[in-house]
Amino acid sequence: MIGKLLEPAGLQQLAALKLQARLVAEGALSGLHRAAHHGASVEFAEHKEYAPGDDLRHIDWRAYGRIDKFYVKRFEDETELRAYLLLDASGSMAYGRQGHQSKFAYGRILCAALAYLLLRQKDEAGLLAFSAGPTRYLPPRGRAAHLTDLCRALLEIQPGGSTDLLRALSYLSEVARRRSLVVVVSDLFPSPATAPLQGQDALVHATAALRARLAGLRARQHDVVVLQLLDPDELELPFSGPTWFEDMEPSPGGPRRLLADPADVRRAYQAELGRFLAGLRRGLAESDVEYHLVPTTQPPQQVLLSLLRGPLRRRG
């Protein structure tokens, strides 16, 4: 895959993803009433009388003109934001309504645009892709060229296999030593291969386990944002006539298939999904985790705009 990305077609893909990330990010920025980036990475704190050894560049000449004494401006360093972008690369993320992009493709654009925004405001961005376990990790970096590395990694990743978000979060806990922003981009569906229970019990168990793991990150002072990506088909179940439904992730005993008429199960399906989503929203709110349900028909700019008004907002 790396070799293919070095070929002309691969380089075009890389350039296209970087351009798409920039357009999405700039579209979000245009929705703000003030810029998210304020240029300097320090804030003025106070004056102090000049002493030998002080940096002459910080002398306040206006103050000298008023009181005929040398004072220097003291500055307070802003803490640079370090962010980890966790992208679900399991099999279920490969689903997309016919003629539309998959959840994974949508998540890839979101991650690239988030990285662009972070690097633009002189912060650090890292990537952790996962399925049954961590599949690709790029440590956070703050240099502009890091966007190329991140986009190349995003293009190399192909969705497949089962999901184990808890395992990915355990790995993150080991590498994220200092306070960081953690952004989870996933459909949050538990995998049949890793879920110890079935049906609604599996959803309840998965929600409780996820909440506990994310609460652990919050206890270590990390800021956590969960972006749950769902395809409109998963929200609406719009199919008509007898339809085969099949797991997109490995199951014990082989692939599971079910023939059903959506008209007969739609109401029950939407009720179960509603309980699952309500439980997620409630549980994550109780753990002080920011949660967004993101249909893949929603413009990515809108998602970024909500983040710019929250965890990505910089001090002015």
Give residue-wise pLDDT tens across range 254-304: 667 888 998 999 999 999 999 999 999 999 999 999 999 999 999 999 999
Are 74 and 57 contacting, i.e. CB atoms less than 8 angstroms apart?
A: no
| pLDDT tens digit sequence for 71-110 | 666 554 445 789 999 999 999 999 998 888 999 999 999 9
Residue 118: CATH number of its domain: 3.40.50.410
Contact (CB, 8 A) for 293 and 282: no
> Contact, 92 vs 189, CB < 8 A?
yes
Cα-based distances in Å from 168 to 164, 165, 172, 266, 285 = 7, 5, 6, 33, 21
In a domain, 36, yes or no: no
pLDDT confidence of residue 39: 38
The pLDDT tens digits of the residues spanning 97-146 come to: 888 899 999 999 999 999 999 999 889 999 999 999 999 999 999 998 99
* Domain end marker among 76, 96, 123: 76
On whether the CB atoms of residues 164 and 132 are closer than 8 A, the answer is: yes
Residues 156 and 193 in one domain: yes
What's the number of domains the chain is made of? 2
**Same domain, yes or no, for 251 and 220?**
yes
Average pLDDT, the chain: 84
Residue 203 lies inside a defined structural domain of this protein: yes
Say yes or no: 244 and 279 in one domain: yes
Q: What are phi and psi of 48, to 5 degrees?
A: -145, 150
Cβ neighbours of residue 178 closer than 8 Å, sequence gap 6 or more: 82
Lowest average pLDDT, out of 48-57, 294-303, 306-315, goes to: 48-57
The DSSP code for 194 is T
**pLDDT value at 186 more than 60:** yes
Regarding whether 156 and 298 lie in a shared domain, the answer is yes
pLDDT of residue 278: 95
Report, in angstroms and rounded to the nearest whole number, the Rg of the chain calculated over CA atoms. Answer: 23
What does the block give as tokens for 120? 């633009």
The number of CA neighbours under 13 Å toward the Cβ of 197 is 11
Residue 276, both tokens: 């699952």
Domain containing 52: what range? Answer: 44-76
Helix-helix angle 199-219:165-175, to 10 degrees: 10
Query: Do 48 and 116 fall within a single domain?
Result: no
216 shares a domain with 113:
yes
Judged on CB neighbours under 10 Å (0-12, 13-18, 19+), 183 is buried
For 24, the 3-state DSSP assignment is helix
In sequence order, which residues have a C-beta less than 8 Å from that of residue 234 and are 6 or more positions away?
95, 187, 273
* The 3-state secondary structure of 93-112, one letter per residue: HHCCCCCCCCHHHHHHHHHH
Residues 147 and 61 occupy one common structural domain? no
